[in-house]
Structure 1
Amino acid sequence: MLLIVANQLLFGQNTSNNIFTEFNLFFDAEIKHQGIKGDWIFKLNEITGNHKFDYNNDGFNDVLMEFNAIPVDGGGVTYYFAVLFENDKNNSFKFVNYLNCEQLVFKLFNEPSFTFTNTKYKTTENFVLVNSKFIKSSL
């Protein structure tokens, strides 16, 4: 239910549900099973950021979502992530890649760099996409 509410709040009634579908596919494939041998099952706790910008210069706003996930049973562990989806000519969204964002909060995109603020050390960290993978950069 949280995802449906978040989808309506973040993307509006007129936006294709494809971002919602893509997010769920990504979450199930990459995030849901964490821990040693995938024995922890995680659920979405909160979507903490929704950032729209054209990272690939195709004229369409892509989406970087920040969120966190917690264990279904128990608690004590919260994982933080940012996931990038490419907007395919306003027809659909396509998963690009994600980043583990422990202590990182997205600040801005300035081609080609994705800049995050490290909340613990009050510094910035930059990442670039290389072959659709986030790589830490000194930019």
Structure 2
Amino acid sequence: MVALKVFTILLLFSISELTYSQNPDDKSDFLKSNKLLYTSFQKFYTDSIRQDGLDEWGEPYFKKIDQINGVHYFDYNNNGLEDALVEFSVRNSDGGTWYMLVAVLFENVDKQYIYKAHFKPENLLFKKYQQPFFILSGRVNRFQDETTTKKYKLLNNKFVEY
């Protein structure tokens, strides 16, 4: 009887862990389906986001990808090729409560995705690209129901708010 109770508890724990870890909003598989974009994204993450220096004990401190929030294709530079904007969230490797959103633009050059620019759009998510603006929307203040919309323009490889 005790073995059955232990088995039941372990089964329930396993099911809850599986359902917790499978977020239907995560677009990781969609990103991975484009091998060229995924390779460029991984290089960007490793070079620019992943390691954040050393912690108080001198150990490497990392930022982990929490989830891929969106992969958007559009031709931002009118060259006839689809460029990509990848949105993702990052959290600290130590399990703390720190959290950050990042949007990164990759330009399609000869069917290779080349890093162009990135920025941290607060709690905003990409809605559309309307030449020359990247339009993002969301609730900046979690305690208010109002939605904020902001426009960004790419100038000298940097996103500038308009």
Task: Name the TM-score class by shorter chain.
Answer: 0.7 to 0.9
Distance 1:65 1:24 in 2: 11
Which position in structure 1 is the counterpart of 2:106?
85
Considering only aligned residues, what root-mean-square deviation do their CA atoms show, in Å?
1.8
Task: Describe the shift of the 1:132–1:38 C-alpha distance in structure 2 as closer, same or farther (beyond 3 A).
Answer: farther
Which position in structure 2 is the counterpart of 1:112?
132
Which position in structure 1 is the counterpart of 2:160?
135
Unmatched runs of 5 consecutive residues or more in structure 1: none
Task: Describe the shift of the 1:105–1:132 C-alpha distance in structure 2 as closer, same or farther (beyond 3 A).
Answer: same
TM-score (norm 2): 0.71
The SS at the match of 1:76 is: coil
Unmatched runs of 5 consecutive residues or more in structure 2: 1-26, 56-60, 141-145
- Cα deviation, residue 9, structure 1: 2.5
TM-score (norm 1): 0.82
Distance 1:46 1:102 in 2: 16
2:122 to 78, 99, 102: 102
Identity value in percent: 33
- Cα deviation, residue 107, structure 1: 0.9
Distance 1:63 1:80 in 2: 17
Distance 1:127 1:112 in 2: 8
Distance 1:45 1:116 in 2: 20
Which position in structure 1 is the counterpart of 2:14?
none
Q: How many residues align?
A: 126
Q: How does 1:17-96 map to 2 (within 5 A)?
A: 17-34=35-52, 39=55, 40-90=61-111, 92-96=112-116
Given that 2:31 and 2:37 are in contact with CA atoms closer than 8 Å, whether structure 1 keeps it comes out as: no
Residues 17-54 of structure 1 deviation map (CA, whole Å, 9 limit, x = unaligned): 221121111111211134xx564411111001111000
Greater relative CO (CA pairs within 8 A, separation 6+)? 1
More helix by share: 2
> After TM superposition, which residue ranges in structure 1, 4 or more long, deviate above 3 angstroms?
37-40
Query: Given residue 74 of structure 2, which amino acid in structure 1 is its aligned partner?
Result: F
